[in-house]
Amino acid sequence: MATIPKKTQQTRDRNSEVLARAKATIAGGDNSTMRVLSYHLPLIADRGEGARVWDIEGREYIDLNMAYGPLLFGHRPEKILDAVSFQIHKSGSQLGFPTEISIRTAEKLKALFPMMELVRFSSTGTEAVASATRLARAHTGRSKIIAFEGHYHGWSDAVFHRYHAPLDQLPADRMGPALPGTIGMNGAPHDLITVEWNDAELLERCLAQHRGQVAAVIMEPIAGNSGVLEAQPGFLAEAKRLAHEDGALLIFDEVITGLRVAAGGAQQLYGVTPDITIVSKALGGGFPVAAFGASAEIMSHIAAARMFHGGVYSGNAAVMAAAEAMLDEITEHGEQIYGHLHAQADRLAAGLGEIMTRHNVPHVMQHVGPMLSLFLTTGRREPLTTYREVRQHADFEKYIEFQHALQRAGVYFHPNLFEPMYLSTAHTADDLDEVFERVEDACRCLWPR
């Protein structure tokens, strides 16, 4: 029987030791709760390059997390770093005035997302989404927002709901007031209603129940925070029609999908254009940037300073240099980039699925381009279409065990199966072959025949 190479005692201790040290100074050991969950095997990152990351012990991992998505061109992409370096050395990082680099970046973003007649940059997806929902409320004069179960839109009081709620805490009739995402929200999110994903009739009923009061329907057009759950054929267009019929706006949170599943995001892939779009992760290629945009009419509330949107670091020049370089690459080499990403992702999905099937492991493999979910299940083999189905059928414990085995064998992806795997242009066919080999070994150990 194959064995998964175990970390040496010393290796495990060093990562754990440093994490323990971190906990004495940084609450919980790191700066996002998602990176220090109780079931994480400690991994303190030292450096990354291309598709690989190294821990402080010098152990190398094929990275299928890509920093939760931003690293579309892998770790330390030369052209992006050169652009940032040039900008900060030549002109400065934080200037505190309008700059030509942010104007150019906005123009180039707009070329990929033509619905964004006017844009604003922020530093994080959370801020951009909070601004987008405020904008929808300002524009419509209405207060309610409809979101979907299992969709995540950042952790602001505006929209942070308990997107991974246990099944028994979700409303029995599949729609209802959103549950607060954390303690300390003082009753927020206010006026946020959640509805089960992928059911147009239910959305119609929800809109009817709140007739004339809904400012916007917000969604991840490909759900990516409860595993990859693609919209059912026709659902996006129908959601748009229903929202508009009621006078509500449609918001696409393309923080994950923008510049990933296609240059112009999910809206380009499916041909459905929302009223407000948010993009982030891939736009910065590893630098903290987000953008939201809409028609000049909708954005006029911000343009005329009736609605406030701020941020000392919004449009920071170093970050704009990264975003401009990302956009330049995508604009110039889009066909190659997305061709490569989709081909590699198809191969990874097919390969993982084949291995799991051969080892008779109940699973469902789902992906849209380079965002992929391997759902280990308790028996289910048919596609999963909603958060509730994932909750019901996924085997979270087994996935953690599987992830630990792979992490020990030098392949990293997030241990929570709600988090997609991500590929970058830096991942080669050889990287995938290595992944397959190690997954094969893990299967032999975890599911011996």
* Sites of contact with ligand PMP (CB under 6 A): 68, 124-126, 129, 152-154, 220, 225, 253, 255-256, 280
Task: Kindly tell me which of 124 and 377 has the beta carbon lying closer to ligand PMP.
Answer: 124
Task: Kindly tell me which of 68 and 313 has the beta carbon lying closer to ligand PMP.
Answer: 68
Task: Kindly tell me which of 124 and 268 has the beta carbon lying closer to ligand PMP.
Answer: 124
Question: Least separation, in Å, of the C-beta of 291 and ligand PMP?
Answer: 12
Residue 303 in 3-state DSSP?
helix
Provide the β-strand partners of residue 353.
Answer: none
Q: Tell which residue, 449, 444, 422, 409, has the closest CA to residue 4.
A: 409
Question: Least separation, in Å, of the C-beta of 225 and ligand PMP?
Answer: 5
Question: Least separation, in Å, of the C-beta of 70 and ligand PMP?
Answer: 9
Contact indicator for 358, 375 with CB cutoff of 8 Å: no
Question: Least separation, in Å, of the C-beta of 428 and ligand PMP?
Answer: 26
Residue nearest to ligand PMP (CB): 125
Q: CA angle at residue 385 from 379 to 390, to 5 degrees?
A: 45
Q: Tell which residue, 347, 389, 340, 338, has the closest CA to residue 367.
A: 347
* Termini Cα distance of the chain: 10
| Helices within 53-124 (DSSP H only) | 78-90, 100-112
What letter represents residue 101's amino acid? Answer: I
Question: Least separation, in Å, of the C-beta of 345 and ligand PMP?
Answer: 18
Calculate helix-pair angle for 317-358, 100-112, nearest 10 degrees. 40
Q: Tell which residue, 85, 84, 51, has the closest CA to residue 67.
A: 51
DSSP 8-state assignment for residue 56: T
Question: Least separation, in Å, of the C-beta of 73 and ligand PMP?
Answer: 18
Residue 157 main-chain phi, psi, to 5 deg: -65, -20
Task: Kindly tell me which of 75 and 153 has the beta carbon lying closer to ligand PMP.
Answer: 153
Task: Kindly tell me which of 99 and 133 has the beta carbon lying closer to ligand PMP.
Answer: 133
Question: Least separation, in Å, of the C-beta of 280 and ligand PMP?
Answer: 5
Provide the β-strand partners of residue 374.
Answer: 365
Task: Kindly tell me which of 421 and 435 has the beta carbon lying closer to ligand PMP.
Answer: 421
Count of CB atoms situated within 10 Å of the CB of 312:
9
Contact indicator for 193, 124 with CB cutoff of 8 Å: no
Whole-number Å distance between alpha carbons of 231 and 113: 20
The CA–CA distances, whole Å, from 424 to 88, 117, 200, 221 equal 26, 29, 33, 20
Question: Least separation, in Å, of the C-beta of 349 and ligand PMP?
Answer: 20
Q: Tell which residue, 411, 404, 403, 406, has the closest CA to residue 375.
A: 403
Question: Least separation, in Å, of the C-beta of 197 and ligand PMP?
Answer: 13
Residue with tokens 């790191």: 30
Task: Kindly tell me which of 154 and 227 has the beta carbon lying closer to ligand PMP.
Answer: 154
Polymer length in residues for the chain? 449
Question: Least separation, in Å, of the C-beta of 258 and ligand PMP?
Answer: 9
Q: Tell which residue, 326, 317, 257, has the closest CA to residue 285.
A: 326
Question: Least separation, in Å, of the C-beta of 40 and ligand PMP?
Answer: 17
Question: Least separation, in Å, of the C-beta of 226 and ligand PMP?
Answer: 11
What letter represents residue 360's amino acid? Answer: N
What letter represents residue 413's amino acid? Answer: F
Whole-number Å distance between alpha carbons of 189 and 179: 8
E strand residue ranges, 280-353: 290-294
